[in-house]
């Protein structure tokens, strides 16, 4: 298969075929408008490949997710998040020397400039931490110049400082003193230490929490050309610096149809619990075409069989809650919802299965994280993916500014008649 043919108003056009390493087929319509005058029309980009990428492979029909070729199930089974960051950004696993240098760098760049602490004072106490996170990441550009020689260092700074910014935004929201990062802790333990330690008493991060957070971060680390990652690439394609590009990705992630869904899942489960636990009523509501209620944490643009991350998280939710001795009625409601939808024609027909957000919120809750922080946790995990995708885009020799076209459906030319003043 080398070419695709298109017939438009009796004329035939040929287009080359692009084939990926896993056999996916794309029709390269780069010359379509120039040759035929037409453009493709694909609102929501469900059928549009926006780039070539060697970072993450997803087969939504078979429930496959791989980072740089490695199955997510293998990476999630014992790897540290920092090492997955290296893999995503550099494309290969580090040597022992590279690994210790990488971890050292990530620890030693986790402080934020003392002046940035003052920024937090300007936000109201109930500010959503995603708003703080995006503006603080954008503000990093005022401290660290956007020079090619500094790209690698800026990527490390961003990874290292995001966890400090995220933890500080939580401390700010509860009015507690900021806890500084510690270089002797793992990435996930350091974050939990900055979140939960208080000066008055010693705090040791329980191993179960360190492992649970490590797993969650790995599962969120990249997901190819989703809404926030495409935003990062879109903004970066104009030549905008790393911090500005990633800040815009954080904003895109915030929406309830994307990363904001994990917060919405818990709110939905709480609503079901407070309403007497009748989950059937909410399943019916989600199926009712006159209502705009959706089961949050269900459905995915790409996964049409199961979300492999949700399978891993379902088991992790059981393990973590058991180990912590937490009995959360929301977990029961969640499992019941999943069970009933798996047998329901509406959900089967539309291929709607629990996604990554469905069980992650329950684990975050058991870890003691407040609901408003859930999407921040997603952003923390997605950081290496955004960075790797931004880097790949920058290194693409034929990279062009992203600039989609449109089908104009507004008024045709008309003459301006001034409004007569009374
Ligand atoms: N609950 C109930 N019905 C749902 C649904 C949900 N969570 N998600 C999709 N549907 C239905 C739609 O109503 C539509 O039905 P129709 O064909 O009868 O009109 C059909 O399934 C297709 O939905 P659509 O919105 O076109 O799919 P999409 O690929 O554009 O959207 C999501 C994907 C993820 C945005 C969507 O499934 C959703 O809103 N899920 C809830 C939010 C969420 O969990 N987001 C996190 C994603 S990781």
Answer whether residue 23 is part of any domain: yes
Give the count of domains, the chain.
1
How far apart, in Å, are the Cα atoms of 93 and each of 86, 90, 222, 374? 7, 8, 16, 29
For a ligand 1 pocket test, name from 263, 299, 351 the mutation site with the most ligand atoms within 8 angstroms of its C-beta.
299
Helix 81-90 vs helix 96-108: angle between axes, to the nearest 10 degrees? 110
- Interval between CA 341 and ligand 1 midpoint (Å): 14
Q: Are 385 and 56 in contact (CB under 8 A)?
A: yes
Cα separation, 86 vs 96, in Å, equals 12
The closest alpha carbon to 87, from 394, 309, 392, 385, belongs to 385
Answer whether residue 345 is part of any domain: no
Ligand 1: residue whose CA is nearest its atom 15: 350
Answer whether residue 84 is part of any domain: no
Q: Report the sign of the C-alpha dihedral through residues 224, 343, 289, 295, in that order.
A: negative
Q: Which residue has the tokens 């990527």?
A: 155
Q: Are 191 and 167 in contact (CB under 8 A)?
A: yes
Q: What pLDDT is recorded for position 343? A: 93
pLDDT digits (tens, 9 = 90+) for 395-422: 998 889 999 999 999 999 999 999 999 8
- Interval between CA 18 and ligand 1 midpoint (Å): 29
**In which band, very low, low, confident or very high, does the pLDDT at 16 lie, cut at 50, 70 and 90?**
very high
Give the chain's mean pLDDT. 94
Cα separation, 21 vs 30, in Å, equals 21
Q: For residue 125, how many other CB atoms are within 10 A of its CB?
A: 8
Mean pLDDT of 33-40: 96
Give the CATH number of the domain where residue 33 resides: 2.20.28
Strand partners, 281: none
Q: Which residue has the higher pLDDT, 224 or 356?
A: 224
Ligand 1: residue whose CA is nearest its atom 45: 257
Q: What pLDDT is recorded for position 1? A: 67
- Interval between CA 359 and ligand 1 midpoint (Å): 17
Q: Which of 109, 128, 223, 300 is catalytic?
A: 300
Answer whether residue 356 is part of any domain: no
- Interval between CA 295 and ligand 1 midpoint (Å): 8
pTM: 0.93
**3-class SS string, the chain:** CCEEEEEECCEEEEEEEEECCCCCEEECCCCHHHHHCCCCCCHHHCCCCCCCCCCEEEECCCCEEEECCEEHHHHCCCCCHHHHHHHHHHCCCCCHHHHHHHHHHHHHCCCCCHHHHHHHHCCCCCCCHHHHHHHHHHHHCCCCCCCHHHHHHHHHHHHHHHHHHHHHHHHHHHCCCCCCCCCCCCHHHHHHHHHHCECCECCCCCHHHHHHHHHHHHHHCCCCCCHHHHHHHHHHCCCCCHHHHHHHHHHHHHCCCCCCHHHHHHHHHHHHHHCCCCHHHHHHHHHCCCCCCCCCCECCCCCCCCCHHHHHHHHHHHHHHHHHCCCCHHHHHHHHHHHHHHCCHHHHHCCCCECHHHHHHHHHHHCCCCHHHHHHHHHHHHHHHHHHHHHHHHHCCCCCCCCCCCCCCCCCCCCCCCCCCC
**In which band, very low, low, confident or very high, does the pLDDT at 125 lie, cut at 50, 70 and 90?**
confident
Mean pLDDT of 66-83: 96
Answer whether residue 365 is part of any domain: no
Ligand 1 closest atom vs CA 226? 48
Ligand 1: residue whose CA is nearest its atom 30: 301
Ligand 1 closest atom vs CA 307? 48
Widest Cα–Cα separation across the chain: 80
Residue 307: left (phi > 0), alpha (psi -120 to 50), or beta? beta
Highest mean pLDDT among 26-30, 143-147, 200-204: 26-30
Per cent of the chain over pLDDT 90 is 86
**In which band, very low, low, confident or very high, does the pLDDT at 68 lie, cut at 50, 70 and 90?**
very high
Is residue 275 part of the annotated active site? The answer reads no
Mean pLDDT of 34-46: 96
Mean pLDDT of 98-118: 96
Ligand 1: residue whose CA is nearest its atom 37: 299
Q: What pLDDT is recorded for position 304? A: 87
Is residue 128 part of the annotated active site? The answer reads no
What residue numbers bound the domain in which 13 lies?
3-49
Q: For residue 46, how many other CB atoms are within 10 A of its CB?
A: 8
Answer whether residue 255 is part of any domain: no
Q: What pLDDT is recorded for position 7? A: 97
- Interval between CA 344 and ligand 1 midpoint (Å): 15
Rounded CA Rg of the chain: 23
Q: Which residue has the higher pLDDT, 17 or 422?
A: 17
Ligand 1 closest atom vs CA 265? 44
Q: What pLDDT is recorded for position 398? A: 82
Q: What pLDDT is recorded for position 301? A: 87
- Residues lining ligand 1, judged by CB closer than 6 Å? 257, 261, 286, 294-301, 350, 352, 355-357
Per cent of the chain over pLDDT 70 is 100
Answer whether residue 64 is part of any domain: no
- Interval between CA 102 and ligand 1 midpoint (Å): 39
Answer whether residue 43 is part of any domain: yes
The answer on pLDDT for 18 being more than 80 is: yes
Q: What pLDDT is recorded for position 148? A: 85
Ligand 1: residue whose CA is nearest its atom 20: 350
């Amino acid at each position: 298969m080398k070419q695709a043919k298109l017939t438009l108003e009796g004329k035939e056009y040929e287009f080359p075929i692009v084939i990926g390493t896993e056999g996916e087929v794309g029709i390269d319509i780069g010359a379509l408008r120039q040759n035929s005058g037409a453009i493709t029309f694909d609102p929501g980009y469900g059928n549009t490949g926006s780039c070539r990428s060697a970072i993450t492979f997803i087969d939504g029909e078979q429930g496959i997710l791989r980072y740089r070729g490695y199955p997510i199930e293998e990476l999630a089974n014992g790897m540290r998040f920092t090492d997955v960051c290296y893999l995503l950004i550099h494309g290969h696993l580090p040597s022992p020397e590279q690994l210790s240098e990488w971890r050292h760098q990530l620890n030693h760049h986790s402080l934020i400039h003392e002046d940035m602490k003052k920024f937090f004072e300007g936000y109201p106490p109930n500010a959503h931490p995603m708003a703080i996170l995006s503006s603080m990441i954008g503000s990093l550009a005022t401290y660290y110049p956007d020079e090619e020689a500094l790209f690698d260092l800026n990527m490390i700074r961003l990874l290292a400082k995001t966890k400090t910014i995220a933890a500080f935004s939580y401390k700010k929201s509860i009015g507690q003193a900021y806890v500084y990062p510690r270089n002797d802790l793992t990435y996930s333990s350091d974050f939990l230490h900055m979140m939960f330690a208080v000066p008055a008493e010693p705090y040791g991060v329980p191993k179960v929490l360190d492992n649970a957070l490590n797993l969650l971060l790995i599962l969120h680390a990249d997901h190819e050309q989703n809404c926030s990652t495409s935003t990062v690439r879109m903004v970066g394609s104009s030549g905008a610096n790393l911090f500005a590009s990633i800040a815009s990705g954080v904003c895109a992630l915030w929406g309830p149809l994307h990363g904001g869904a994990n917060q919405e899942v818990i709110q939905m489960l709480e609503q079901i619990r407070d309403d007497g636990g009748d989950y059937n009523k909410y399943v019916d509501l989600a199926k009712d075409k006159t209502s705009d209620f959706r089961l949050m944490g269900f459905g995915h643009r790409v996964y049409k069989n199961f979300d492999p991350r949700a399978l891993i998280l379902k088991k992790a939710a059981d393990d973590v809650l058991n180990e912590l001795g937490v009995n959360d009625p929301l977990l029961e409601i969640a499992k019941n919802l999943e069970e009933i939808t798996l047998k329901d024609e509406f959900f089967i027909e539309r291929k709607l299965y629990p996604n990554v957000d469905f069980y992650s919120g329950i684990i975050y809750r058991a870890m003691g994280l407040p609901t408003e922080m859930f999407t921040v946790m997603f952003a923390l995990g997605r950081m290496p993916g955004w960075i790797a995708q931004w880097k790949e885009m920058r290194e693409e020799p034929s990279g062009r500014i992203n600039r989609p076209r449109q089908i104009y459906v507004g008024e045709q030319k008309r003459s301006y008649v001034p409004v007569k003043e009374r």
